[in-house]
Amino acid sequence: MLKRLDDNNFQGFIEDSFYSAIGFYCPSTQNQDNPKKLIFIIFLH
C-alpha cells in the first residue's frame, strides 16, 4: 500500500518502514536475498 507523503504523515511512514525492515531483513540474511529487492519491498509495504 502506497501512502501519500507529506508533512503530516511522513514521520509515521518512516517509522512504519523501519519496523517493516526488521521483519524482512532478519529472514533475508539467511537466504542471501537481494538488498535492492528488500528496499523495494519496504517502501511498498
Mean pLDDT across the stretch 6-25? 60
Q: Residue 22 — φ and ψ, nearest 5°? A: -65, -45
Amino acid in the structure at residue 9: N
| Domain-located, residue 34 | yes
The pLDDT of residue 45 is 47
Position 10 pLDDT exceeds 50: yes
Q: Let me know if residue 5 belongs to a domain.
A: no
Long-range contacts for 11-20 (Cβ within 8 Å, ≥24 apart)? 16/45, 17/42, 17/43, 17/45, 20/45
**What rounded mean pLDDT belongs to the chain?**
56
Residue 1 has pLDDT above 50, yes or no: no
Number of domains comprising the chain: 1
Q: Is the pLDDT of residue 17 over 60?
A: yes
